[in-house]
Amino acid sequence: MGTWTGTSTCVGNRPACKNETVVYRFEPVDGHPHQVRLYADKIIEGKRVPMGALVFDVDEHQGTLRGEFTRGQTHGEWSFAVVGKAMTGKLVILPDRSVGRDVKVHRASDAEVPAAPPVSDYDE
Give the pLDDT score at 123: 84
* CATH value of 2-116 in 1.10.10.10, 2.40.110.20, 2.130.10.10, 2.40.128.120: 2.40.128.120
Q: Is the pTM of this model over 0.75?
A: yes
- Report, as an integer, the average pLDDT of 11-36: 95
Average pLDDT, the chain: 95
Residue 62 and residue 56: Cα distance in Å, rounded? Answer: 14
pLDDT at 69 over 90: yes
List strand residue ranges (DSSP E) for the chain, in order.
2-10, 20-29, 32-44, 47-59, 64-71, 74-83, 86-94, 98-108
Residue 34: CA count within 13 A, CB half-sphere: 8
H-helix segments, 24-76: none
Query: What are the residue boundaries of the structural domains of the chain, listed by start?
Result: 2-116
In one-letter notation, the amino acid at residue 53 is: A
